[in-house]
Each structure stands twice: as structure tokens, then as C-alpha cells.
A and B are shown apart, each in its own frame.
Chain A
């Protein structure tokens, strides 16, 4: 076992956790991510393997498959992001490579993203200040790409529906966190 200590995206001693009014924002470092892109001509095989992994069909455009331990959301034509708990799936990319073989290109994405969970009654109001996303039209299980504070992010509406997961570029975790906190204070 190696002896390196991980540092959270916000570089705090513990993951950031803020409660403002009805809203809470949690930095979630416990997420392993890997991208899956079907190889040309292998789309069916790739989808079949993902179905086997997820227990339901690979999500279509704008959709996520919310389940444990592996979950996934659509990121582009025949492309998905697969997530799982980091503790048990640090080698998620390797696992998926083995599962998918030559059917897909798999790339480790765990540390490309910072993950924030925003929950609470005023979630939609806060999201309205953060970007052009039509959050009200999203239901549990919807996932999309949008721009927040000039940053390309993924937004997934979770269960219960007052909870959104925001994946943003990890190097800008501080800026993204600041923007979300400002919006939370505005609507609190």
C-alpha cells in the first residue's frame, strides 16, 4: 500500500460542508469516475455490457442511471460517465476496461472533477443564479451539461429531487465553491 495522503479538491483538512438557510453544500471526494466511449461499430456491445453492469439500459441523452454501487450518466453520443464509491472502486477505470474490452475506450476521470452535492428547499432558486440551466424542467434522474461561473459542469438531479450533484473542473473547485456559496447566500 502506498503512503501518499490524498488532498481534497478544496484543499481543506476535511471535505467542505456548508449550511446556509435551507441549503447545504457538501464537497464529496468519495466518487470514482471513468468515462466510457464506445468504439466504432461496438456501440451495441458497449451498451449491452453497461446494461449488465448497471442492471438497466445505459442512460440516453439528458439522463442518468442512479444506483449503487455503479451509476452512470450520458455525456455524448455513445459516451457515458460511470461513477462508483472511491473506497471500493479506486480502480474503476481498470474494472471497466476489463468488462468492456475492445468495445469501449475507458479513461480514468476521478480526479478531473470536483463533486458538490447541493440540497435543500431553495435548491432551484440557487441554481437559477448559477447558470442558464432550466433546473425546474429537470426531474430526478436527469443529467445535463451546463456552464456555471464560466465553468463547464455536469448537473445531475438526484433523489430526493431537492438534491443536485454538480461536477465541475477540479482545478477550479475554489472558484466554483465560491460561486455556489454566493448564490446560496443570495437566496437564503
Chain B
């Protein structure tokens, strides 16, 4: 294979020629240098064609040299790192870079889908809306997949991204966005004054537009000044320089989002290093120095590879020593276009002509300047070969050139000034929008972003903005002599599009032409926001950075309005495309949220427990034993073992709140609907909390450890919510009460020990000086004890299972030791560990309400606890629980449900219907909330809510679920399937 040559590589530039990078584009090998982007390296290698357009599949090359690029988008890297829609103009070249063009088949040079271009008359704005409306059912299955395949940008690998992304948080006095001349001088001014400064720039090289120009600063090369400035900034410990960092949004309270591309310039990130970091930057002041973006002029076929913005062409030549062709032309309406011609000529590129729309431009001795002329069309199949001109006298002329630099003026990058709904204002001199109205708090704008386009102006406004920020920060300002630099005006005469142009591209990314904008206006989509949606002008990854102004200008002309009257669409973050991965950061897969492990987790894992996520907790769901092949076998065994002898379950996850203070009992009287003031020390009581609206919020127990000390338990699911609620009640509703709260959920390991042999087992654990006999420690007793020879612990005689049961708590670090001890000591009783499934079965058998019943719609009355709502005192929710609508005669009441045929199954979610009559919502009698197979009763049972349920015991009904086609004949029974008299738990 022949060595590829960099045919279009010029002299000079900010590239390191001492090193060669090999890269592959569309299967072909090329060479570039450190400092190149993929686009500059391809241009140097005489490759202008880099992509196909979105809709018409027209051949396209780079329009720009920066992040505003609409055309030159590639799939960078391969395999699971493949990254679609990557702008070749910002992709930093590295050795071994691998990229493919996208949206073409089979190849970039021959794209079968380019047939769309022939049918362009059909594919104008609104084509999809009009054509694919009917039949509606075709859209999702037929039309959309076809359109998606034909149109669109890059493809996804459908593989998981192997790289990691970080999120980080930075704080500074002053954030400077953009490190061009205004940003650098601002950083220097603020940095010298001692402010904490962050200077962020999306480029991989500081300097901004100075890197692309040949300007002198202080009579020397601008690069020398940049290097000196950076040296000084690096020496200041209060300044943080962040290159490859795009500030993507200005958010509330001076907070900015920024994406730092830490490893994008490497083939693969170093081990454990992030590919990118999403920074949240908290600022007191900010200065936007984001520069300006050049805009094009619309003429027929103005999208051929080789036609690019004049400023970009100059940047390729000056910074990257690359030219798109050996013979070029310029089309401009302002003085800046001439600068490109001069720089290209100085680099030895042949200038075919400079075509200026303005009359009477000065003659240039080195090349032809054609005044008062326009480029009206172009030729060349896969790249520009000829430009067609219309001269001032109306005659035509053809100009041979391989590239055309177009300059229609410059638009200040106002985006971040508008992220909080600020609207830019029109500047007649520049024919462009500049920052105006209300800026985000603390923000000022300097340099080209503020419409000051000269280098001198950038220095001047940068220093001024920095001093204003320093004043706001109460730091010392300084006025040093500014570096000497050019101060040329733009001299623009607005010129947006060539007369009669129709297939003249405004938005090259979305294939929106002048004709489309006219059609939109003709069809009544005249608001700028409607124009955007109807034509897609300004959508997709570039968000119209190079196209919006053209569309606005045409819209204004058609509507007979001025451009500022038409106005702009809303600017929204992110400023440039942002990978979803960096928004997710580390929070993905198993790290999506933190997990909480119970004190017995290590032991339970050793037992082969199957875990279930309950909130963030990992709880043992059941403990399979050898030979058990179905979860029901394990659960049935655990239930039977507990009911017949003794079982143990980790209940640490239930919320625990320490309530202390002289008014602790009064406080509990407020948060629980039932009374606590008279609860004796050493006793525990079940409590029901209501919301302010009278609906049940949570239930649990409160154990009175001392006159002024309670331990409150909550459900696992509501632990945090209830604690928040209690703090709200304490701090806001009853601030005069002497009560102190703190969560102790994590501090204590707690186990339920349940079953007829639970006392015998615990007597082997609890130290003998503590009497836990039925007389000494009766049902609902609580107290401080010691275990295993002196370790402080707490014992509660409470039961969720309905058995004789205890809950024992001790410092969490001993939880692992205790479960092992209980299992050893309980061996003689065949003690069995049980999980949340068995726990659920036993509470359903006992008729205890849980989350399924406390579902945010049910009241104490519904739960069969209506009489618990004390009328002797005021408590949260008690008044509204008396609302008429909640207390109707046929209010839902909790009942038990069992199938008439014991072999049939009850399923939760089904609805109860009368034995006869229609099955529909109007005849709904209630619903099933919980269901389980009861190994004790050897049948399926359920809990549910039934209208007037208290008076319907024994009634035969139908349990139906139209969704699953289920109908089961059931009988309404007591919710207390097991031990309705409560003899077991008092034993």
C-alpha cells in the first residue's frame, strides 16, 4: 500500500510534526499529527467528503472548525465504544483513531439513499406530518421504522458503554467560560486579585480565536502572549484551568453544568479513570467569554463538500496548517471574509477570487476582488469544482475552485445568557443578536460573545468584566496596561440569501432550505417556535448554531417584520451534545442507588438466602434448604417451623426513632391517633399514625423505656418518611414541646424470635437476672436487658406473626454474633430462620395490616381500627378522619377472603363482586390487597377491603380479575385466620 500523503498540509500551524498519528476513516489509513482534529487531518489528506445529510443524503464536508459543526459527524471508535454523531471538527486526533462516516449505504461516495435527493419535492417541510397520518396504526410499526432507517444520524452499538463517568462539584468565586483573549485577560485580572477562579474552555488548547488568527499581540506572535499568560495562571494556586471542558448550562443560583472530556482524546481511558466528568460548578460571579459563531449565506447548492465558513477555512490554515483545496474562493458580505483570503494567500493557497456582495471594495494586488457580486450556485458531485457567480452588471461567470469560504457575519454566542429565559437584543451594526435583557444572576459577558469582535475589544471588555466581578466579590480591582492588539471593525452589510434561491441550505444538519422556510410561512407556521417545529430548523445536535439566523431573516422578510420582531427560539441547555453516560455518572447498574445491608447479611449469605430489595435494604426473602426446588417449599417450611416451634427473622429494617423529653408522651399523643399518655413504663403499644387528611400513614409500636423516653418503630418502607414527619411536627407544629428525636434504625440489630419455643430459646440468651417468664415479662412488655453475659440489649414482647414472640435488639456490631448464637442455642428446638415471605404469610394469617393495606387510600375505619382514633384528645388527622365521605355506612372494611374450593387460589389485585349480577365497576364491592398460601390452613387466603365488610362474614362472593380472566368463588371470613382470640401470643 502506498504511503498516504498529506497533500493539503500547509506550513506552520499549532501541530506537532515531530510525531505522526495513524488513523483510519471509512477503512482507509491516513496520517495526522498531535494537535489535529479528525476534520483537520482529513482535510490535510485531501478528504473533503465526511458525511451524508440527514434527509436527502447529500454529500457533505465540514462547514465549521468547531463545536457548532452540523455536517461532519462520524461514528468514532468501534465495538462497545462506538460513539455516533461525533463531530469530526472537535474529535481530537490520537494514534490509532478509528472512525466511520454515517447515514450512508453502502459507502460515503456511493450512497443508495441519495435517491431521496431526487424526490426532494416530496420531502419538503411537513412531508412526514402530511403523508404518514393515515392509517394511525401504521405509524409505530411500519412508517416510523422505515423513516428511522432512511433518515437519522449515527447508529448505536446497542452494547453497554465500558467506560466510567464521574460527577463532581466545584466551588469558585468566578467562573470564566471561554479562554480566548477576553477570558484569558479576565482570568489574569481576577487571579492576580486572589479570587478563586475557574477558567473553562471546550477546546483542547487555550487561546480561543487567537489560535486561528495571525494577529500580533504586543508586536509578537499571539501564541507567545498566550503561553506567558498561561504560565502565570498556572503559577496562581487560586486559579483552576480546565481545558476540554464545555460549560453546558447556566442553572439556578449561579450553578453551572460543565462536561470535562478527561479521556476522549485517548484511545481508551486509563484504568479506573473516567472518560468524562460532569461538573456542577457553584459560582458567585461568572463571565461569559464564549466568542462568536460565523454564519453562512444561502445560495443554491451551498452545501457541497469544500464550501465552508470563511473563518473556519482560515482556522484550518492557520491553526492546523490544512486547506480544503489548493485553489479557493471567498464569498463575503463583510471585511472578515477578506482576512481569510489574505491568510490563505499568505499560506500559498491560490485565491480564485473574493466575491463581495458589497459594491466598490478595494482592489487587491495579489488576487481578484469582485465587488457587488454573488455566488448563486455550485457544481461538483462529491465536492466543489465550480462556483457560479452573478456579477454586479447581472452577467454570469464561473469560477473554478475546490473550496469556497463563506462569511455572512458573526453571531455572538449568547446561549448561556438565555438559559434562564433572558432574550437577546438586536445589534444593528453587527446585524446580530447580542446579550440583553436579564442575564443569569452574577453573569457578565465580554469579548465577541458580547458583540465586541476585535482582539483589543476582547482584552478591554475582559478586564472590565473581571474588575466588575472583583468589585462584586469585595476584592481589589486593578487596571493594567492592556496588551496591544488589532481593533478592526467588521463593516458588514447584511446579506442572508441569494435572490431566487430555493434549494439553498440554511440548516445543513436538518436539511432545511430557504424553500422550506417559505413553505412554512405559506402554510401558516409563522411564529418562530412553529417554524422550528414544522421545518426542524435549529434542531438536533448543533441546535441551529449556524442556521437559526438565516431562518429568522427569511421569516422576517416574508412577514414584513424586522428580525428582532420575529425573535429567537428559546435557548436551552446543554450548549453542545452531552452523553447520557456522563449525566448518569457512577449511578448505573448496581450502583444506581446505595444498598443497605442488615446485621445478619453475612450470615444469611452463608446460608444461601435469597435476597429481595426492600427500598435500599437487601432482606432475606427465604432460606432454601437442600432438596427444596420451589420457593413455596422453603416458605411453607419456615412458617410451619415457626408456628410449631420457633423461628427467627431479622427485623432491623423497621424504622426506630428515639423519642425523649419531658413532653415525649404528649408528642406521641399528637402523632398517633390512639392514646399514649397513660402507657406504663415497661410497656409497648401498637400505634396508628394518620395523615392530616385522616388517611392512615403508617403503623408501628412505641415502647416506653422510661417516663421521658420512648422507642418508636415504623414500617421498613416508611421509616424515613415517618421520621421526617415527626421532625416536622416537632419543629413546626409543636415547637414548644420538650421533645428530642433521633433515628436509631442503624444503631440496633433487631431480631424477631417467634413461636411457642421462643421464650425457652431466649432464656438461653438473656442473662438470668432478667425474668422473661409470662408473668415477669407479659405480652407487650419491654425493657433494657443484658445478654450473653452482660451486653446491653433491649427486649420487646411484641408479635407480628401472632405467635408467642419477642423482638430482641442489641448494638449492630454484635448482630452477626447474636444470630449465630440464637441458631446455636436454638438447635435443640430446631430453630428456623425465616425471611420476608414467611413473615408475610404469617401476618396475613393473623390479619395484620401491612403496606398493601396502608396504601394511602385507607382510613382507620377501613382497617377495622376506627375506634382507635381517640376522641379524648386531639391528634394529627383525627378531625378530618371524621369527614362524612370517609364514614359512610357501607365504608370499605378489612375482611378475610378464602376460596370455596380450597384448591383454588386467591390473587391480590382482584375485585370482589356479588355472587350474582353484573361484573363491572359500577357493581364493584371491594378488592383484595394481600394473598398467600397458608400452610397451616392448607389453602389460599387473602385480605381485602369490602363495602360494609364487617357485616358480611359468611357471604359468598366472586373474586374477579378481568385482566387475567380470573373468577373464583370465595367466602368472606374474619381477617384473623389463625388464633383469632390471641391466645398464642399471650401464652
Query: Of B274, B280, B747, B818, which is within 8 A of A111 by CB?
Result: B747
Instruction: Write the chain B residue with the least CB distance to A29.
Output: B813
Which residues of A are found within 8 Å of B742, using beta-carbon distances? 35, 37, 107, 109
Given A37-B740, A132-B169, A150-B593, CB of A7 within 8 Å of CB of B747: no
A99 is an interface residue with CB less than 8 A from chain B: no
What band does the interface of chain B fall in when counting residues whose beta carbon is under 8 Å from A? Answer: 35 or more
Instruction: Write the chain B residue with the least CB distance to A173.
Output: B597
Query: Of A7, A171, A186, which is within 8 A of B596 by CB?
Result: A171
Beta-carbon contacts under 8 Å, B723-753 to A: 736-738, 740, 742-749
Q: Is the interface of B mostly helix, strand, loop or mixed?
A: mixed
Which residues of B are found within 8 Å of A121, using beta-carbon distances? none
Q: Let me know if A132 and B814 touch, CB within 8 A.
A: no
Instruction: Write the chain A residue with the least CB distance to B605.
Output: A11
Q: Let me know if A129 and B167 touch, CB within 8 A.
A: yes
Cβ-Cβ contact count across A and B, 8 Å cutoff: 152
The smallest C-beta distance from A61 to any residue of chain B, in angstroms, reads 16
Given A107-B658, A111-B811, CB of A150 within 8 Å of CB of B789: no
Q: How far is the CA of A131 from the CA of B282 in the complex (A)?
A: 12
Query: Of B171, B746, B789, which is within 8 A of A169 by CB?
Result: B746
Which residues of B are found within 8 Å of A175, using beta-carbon distances? 591, 594-595
Supplied contacts A91-B792, A112-B743, A172-B595, 17 more A-B pairs, CB within 8 Å: A1-B790, A4-B788, A6-B817, A9-B813, A40-B737, A109-B742, A112-B746, A113-B746, A129-B168, A132-B282, A134-B171, A170-B746, A170-B812, A171-B617, A172-B597, A179-B586, A182-B586
Q: How far is the CA of A176 from the CA of B593 in the complex (A)?
A: 11
Beta-carbon contacts under 8 Å, A24-52 to B: 29, 35, 37, 39-41
The smallest C-beta distance from A170 to any residue of chain B, in angstroms, reads 5
Q: How far is the CA of A185 from the CA of B595 in the complex (A)?
A: 21
Instruction: Write the chain A residue with the least CB distance to B586.
Output: A182
A8 is an interface residue with CB less than 8 A from chain B: yes
30 inter-chain pairs at a CB distance below 8 angstroms, sorted by A residue, are A2-B786, A2-B787, A2-B790, A4-B810, A4-B818, A6-B814, A7-B814, A9-B813, A39-B740, A40-B736, A41-B738, A91-B792, A105-B708, A108-B747, A109-B747, A112-B743, A112-B744, A112-B746, A112-B747, A113-B746, A133-B169, A134-B282, A136-B196, A169-B746, A171-B597, A171-B617, A172-B596, A182-B586, A183-B166, A186-B274
| Count of interface residues, chain A, beta-carbon cutoff 8 Å | 52
The smallest C-beta distance from B818 to any residue of chain A, in angstroms, reads 6
B219 is an interface residue with CB less than 8 A from chain A: no
B630 is an interface residue with CB less than 8 A from chain A: no
B559 is an interface residue with CB less than 8 A from chain A: no
Q: How far is the CA of A2 from the CA of B818 in the complex (A)?
A: 11
Q: Let me know if A186 and B273 touch, CB within 8 A.
A: yes
Beta-carbon contacts under 8 Å, B242-285 to A: 272-274, 277, 280, 282
Query: Of A129, A136, A174, which is within 8 A of B595 by CB?
Result: A174
Q: Could you give, for residues 580-597 of chain B, a 1 whenever the CB lies within 8 Å of some chain A CB and a 0 otherwise?
A: 000000100001011111
Instruction: Write the chain A residue with the least CB distance to B738.
Output: A40
Q: Let me know if B747 and A110 touch, CB within 8 A.
A: yes
Task: Name A's B-contacting residues (CB within 8 A).
Answer: 1-9, 11, 29, 35, 37, 39-41, 79, 91, 105, 107-113, 128-129, 131-134, 136-137, 149-151, 169-176, 178-179, 182-183, 185-186, 188
Q: Could you give, for residues 785-814 of chain B, a 1 whenever the CB lies within 8 Å of some chain A CB and a 0 otherwise?
A: 011111110000000000000000011111
Query: Of B277, B280, B737, which is within 8 A of A132 by CB?
Result: B280
Q: How far is the CA of A112 from the CA of B282 in the complex (A)?
A: 32
Query: Of A172, A185, A186, which is within 8 A of B616 by CB?
Result: A172
Q: How far is the CA of A67 from the CA of B40 in the complex (A)?
A: 61
B381 is an interface residue with CB less than 8 A from chain A: no
Q: Let me know if B744 and A2 touch, CB within 8 A.
A: no
Which residues of B are found within 8 Å of A2, using beta-carbon distances? 786-791
B452 is an interface residue with CB less than 8 A from chain A: no
Q: How far is the CA of A169 from the CA of B663 in the complex (A)?
A: 28
Q: Let me know if B813 and A8 touch, CB within 8 A.
A: yes
Instruction: Write the chain B residue with the least CB distance to A149.
Output: B594
Which residues of B are found within 8 Å of A188, using beta-carbon distances? 272
The smallest C-beta distance from B658 to any residue of chain A, in angstroms, reads 5
Q: How far is the CA of A113 from the CA of B816 in the complex (A)?
A: 16
Given A6-B817, A129-B167, CB of A111 within 8 Å of CB of B748: yes
Query: Of A1, A29, A151, A178, which is within 8 A of B789 by CB?
Result: A1
The smallest C-beta distance from A99 to any residue of chain B, in angstroms, reads 16
Instruction: Write the chain A residue with the least CB distance to B821.
Output: A4
Q: Let me know if B171 and A136 touch, CB within 8 A.
A: yes
Which residues of A are found within 8 Å of B617, using beta-carbon distances? 171
B602 is an interface residue with CB less than 8 A from chain A: yes
Q: How far is the CA of A176 from the CA of B597 in the complex (A)?
A: 12
